Chains A and B, each alone.
Chain A
Amino acid sequence: MKKSVFFGALAIAGLTAGVATAQSTLEQVQERGTLQCGSNEGLAGFAAPDANGNWEGFDVALCRAIATAVLGDPQAVEFVPLTSQTRFTALAAGEVDVLVRNSTWTFSRDTDLGLDFKGVNYYDGQAFMVRSDLGVSSALELDGATVCIQTGTTTELNLADFFRVNNMSYEPVPVATNAEGQQQYLAGACDVYTTDMSALAATRATFENVDEHVILPEIVSKEPLGPVVRHGDNEWGDIVGWTLMGLVAAEEFGVTSANVRELAEAPTDNPQLNRMLGTSGDFGPMIGLSNDWLVNVIAAVGNYGEIFEENIGENTPVGLARGLNALWTEGGLQYAMPFN
């Protein structure tokens, strides 16, 4: 049904018409023809629109991967920008099908809020940035510092914990957004700016004199960021989770956007890869998708490593090293469950 003001008004008729039958998320997405992906309003490297309004970024790529898996079209995504306050409510209320908005996987969010985290696409952690002329080389030397801190995030709590555990005091300068924090820090309102390492690196990269600022080596918290779905629709959760697994596994097996079509033409020597790419077995239909779902995904967005390098890797302005996000075979934490 076309969505326009009037037809929107007509939807009120549904109130009198009684309760419609509930559909699964997969059916809803397929019927609608687009995936509604809750995304950041703008975070360097993770989600940002170019001049033509096309969204790009690390989180955006995962949305596109899910859309390709379900609908076969990486462009069939509606990005719904959500603030940190509204993101979980919007997901719970069904405004979005999946939330990929650098959200930290925590106990209470996973249980109490009725949400399911389906993996970790970026292992982040909280860090500190200071001016290099302060001569500080460790976060343990920050006693008595003024700290710019984003309110309402997990970082606020981590900061308090870190300073209390180390018997130090600090004076918080609350800011609402990363942009505001950046400005306050540059204006000298605080000695230290603290937020997730990835955001900190992206912020530092935009400074005029990058060398005048250092990011301290301590990482004071675990911030595993990942895609989130609602409790209760496990089939949909499987699709989201295994799309992410597929991207990581593809990197592990050396499948790239360039060679995936070739590898998918005929069975290879690697039986797990064959099952992934649908040249043997029926793994696609097991999650309600076509057998070549992962082939389309990798062809469209690339494997995990490609997505990383393209959006936040060392050759981009954000310039993040793989670190924890390297494959488990290379000393990182990215580990895909077997396709068996």
Chain B
Amino acid sequence: MSDTHAQSAAFVRREMVPPAAPPPGEVGPLRWVRENLMSSWFNAILTVVSLYLIFMILSDILPWTLNGIWNAGSLSECREIRNARELESAACWAVINERWLQLLFGFYPTDDRLLASWFYAEELAAAGGMEAVFGLAADSTARIEFVGEMKRSLGNLTLFFFGYWRPLLALVLLVVAVAPVLYGSLPRKMLLFSLAYPFIAVFLLWGGSVWGPVTVAAGLVAAILVGRVVGGLWGMLIGLLSAIAAFLFIFFNPLGIIGVQGLFPILPHVVGMLDQIMPIGLPAIDSDDFGGFMLAIIIGTSGIVLSLPLGIVLALGRQSDMPLIRWICVSFIEVIRGVPLIVWLFTASLLLNYFLPPGTDFDLLLRVIIMVTLFASAYLAEVIRGGLAALPKGQYEAADSLGLDYWKSMQLVILPQALKISIPGIVNTFIGLFKDTTLVVFIGLRDPLGLTNAIRATGEWNGIYWELYIFVALLFFTFCFFMSRYSMYLERKLATDHR
């Protein structure tokens, strides 16, 4: 057979033809451009117009941004430098350079004693030593002048790392505490630290005696233990009641109603005793001094952490078969959600004082955190209810048929699925909550936007806008972008349905 072929065909290819290179227009970037940007004459025109627009915008913004002036003492100095360099427009980043610490931390005091003894020892000695400058009897005006002089000579970076070590350390530990919650691959023992973190953070940020947070933590543990022990002996209901009673006696004065004072609450007595035996602590700092981006993080993270469990409980309560619980949850959600957040904040800051006994000093920041938490939890409850409603009825019935009680079926079957479905909505609420923290400016807390106002009120920086707003926007964007990315990671990780 091969012979016939040899005679009938003049040429027989014995090996494969090597693949030819594709035509120039069908490969690489050229093809990408043709397919994506110039697929038709109309799209080509659109591309050209868009490119022109982008060029126009960038040619305005980029020189302004990149030619920015970083070292100047005031806006008018900025303008002089710009004119001297013969630039048409230039950002005055000098305001950020001078005030970024204020935008981050507000008026949170720096650890001046530490700064003075580490970096400014000679001048401190010349001024008469630590007690002469920082002691109780020292002249406060002289101290403020000394501190101002010191801060000018140290520079912002030193101040950032050493002056603000308390909030910085709290932030670093926050990352450590949150990491095991966010990423399942980390050792589970780290969760113990996450539980302890709120108390550590309160101690670091507010200072005061170390025994305050320690005894509060111990009190909570004690109340739970009492409940466990009693509950083990006489049943769950009595256990729960005794835990509540223990909690009340430790933190409040339930006998105050019948006029007995002094004995309860137990907590302050213990704190006072421990303080006398072993006075350890950091200088106390008032909530009024908190400000800047730190405030947004404190309100945001506490709101997020506290509102999630509350939101889950509310969502379950709304679907409950018990009418009383359902009514309570429905009215709570509708009332809280039906009123703007700013109204709740005003309520917290102004109206609450009319109801509290005169002279009560109920921390404003705490009031705000409570209000923000309640507000976010009402929204979360609805988001999670959406997740619950999306589950097929068969899942509930399957959990029931396994003989699981209500809490177990929720914990093992229903909630893991419902929460997974709700992730985008939950994160959406969190991002909204985080940005809503800027609303506290209206009740007199110094959030980053409020601080831009204060900075603009100084003689040097009056009349500056974009630079400050851009800086604040970047800070918020960083955080919100991280949250959004994390939610996408979580969705991918938990994706089991192979859609």
Contacts and interface: CB of A to CB of B under 8 A. Distances in A.
A47 B455 CA distance: 10
Contacts of A207: 463
A40 B357 contact: no
A318 B358 contact: no
A28 B79 CA distance: 48
A334 B229 CA distance: 74
Given A9-B251, A74-B140, A94-B358, A202 B462 contact: yes
Given A4-B363, A8-B362, A86-B350, A49 B208 contact: no
Contacts of A338: none
B460 to A, nearest CB: 8
Contacts of A43: 457
A14 interface: yes
Given A4-B212, A54-B144, A86-B349, A45 B459 contact: yes
Given A5-B365, A17-B253, A41-B453, 5 more contacts: A15-B357, A17-B256, A49-B455, A51-B98, A93-B354
Interface string A1-42: 111111111111111111111110000100000000000111
A269 interface: no
Contacts of B484: none
Nearest to B207: A4
Interface string A72-116: 011110101111011001100111000000000000000000000
12 contacts: A3-B363, A5-B202, A14-B356, A18-B357, A46-B457, A48-B454, A48-B457, A80-B288, A179-B465, A203-B462, A317-B459, A317-B462
A230 to B, nearest CB: 12
Interface string B164-175: 000000000000
Contacts of A333: none
Contacts of B208: 2, 4
B330 interface: no
Contacts of B346: 86
B462 A206 contact: yes
B458 A44 contact: yes
Contacts of B359: 20-23, 28
A78 B286 contact: yes
Interface stretch (B176-184, B402-410, B424-432, B440-448): B440-448
A6 B362 CA distance: 10
A205 interface: yes
Nearest to B257: A16
Contacts of A93: 350-351, 353-354
B300 interface: no
B353 A16 contact: no
B227 interface: no
Given A16-B257, A86-B349, A49 B361 contact: no
B99 interface: yes
A133 interface: no
B360 interface: yes
Contacts of A6: 202, 212-213, 216
B261 interface: yes
A269 B75 CA distance: 49
Interface in B137-164: 140-141, 143-144, 147-148, 151
A211 interface: no
Contacts of B143: 75
A234 interface: no
A40 B284 CA distance: 26
Contact of B360 (A20, A56, A80, A316): A20
A95 B450 CA distance: 19
Interface in B293-310: none
Interface of B: 75, 79, 98-99, 102, 106-107, 109, 140-141, 143-144, 147-148, 151, 202, 206-209, 212-213, 216, 251-254, 256-257, 259, 261, 265, 267-268, 284, 286-288, 346, 349-351, 353-354, 356-363, 365-366, 441-444, 446, 450, 453-460, 462-463, 465
Nearest to B99: A51
Contacts of B261: 17
A15 B463 contact: no
A41 B454 contact: yes
B358 A22 contact: yes
Sorting the interface of chain A by its residue count into under 10, 10 to 19, 20 to 34 or 35 or more gives 35 or more
B9 to A, nearest CB: 83
Contact of B256 (A16, A44, A51): A16
B357 A16 contact: no
Contacts of A16: 252-254, 256-257
Contacts of B366: 5, 8-9
A90 B444 contact: yes
Contact of A5 (B358, B363, B446, B465): B363
A208 interface: yes
A272 interface: no
- Residue picked from B141, B144, B357, B462, most chain A C-beta under 10 Å: B462
A151 interface: no
Contacts of A90: 349-350, 444
Contacts of A208: 79
A81 B148 contact: no
A27 B266 CA distance: 28
Nearest to B443: A86
A52 interface: yes
A40 B457 contact: yes
Given A22-B358, A41-B453, A12 B459 contact: no
A42 B457 CA distance: 5
B458 A13 contact: no
Given A9-B366, A14-B360, A86-B443, A3 B349 contact: no
B106 to A, nearest CB: 8
- Residue picked from A53, A56, A93, A95, most chain B C-beta under 10 Å: A53
B107 A53 contact: yes
Contacts of B256: 13, 16-18
Nearest to A51: B98
- Residue picked from A46, A54, A81, most chain B C-beta under 10 Å: A81
A53 B52 CA distance: 45
A146 interface: no
Contacts of A206: 75, 462-463
Contacts of B259: 18
Contacts of B360: 11, 14, 20
Contacts of B349: 86, 90, 95
A8 B361 CA distance: 7
A207 B463 CA distance: 7
A44 B462 contact: yes
B356 A83 contact: no
Nearest to A75: B140
Nearest to A202: B462
A183 interface: yes
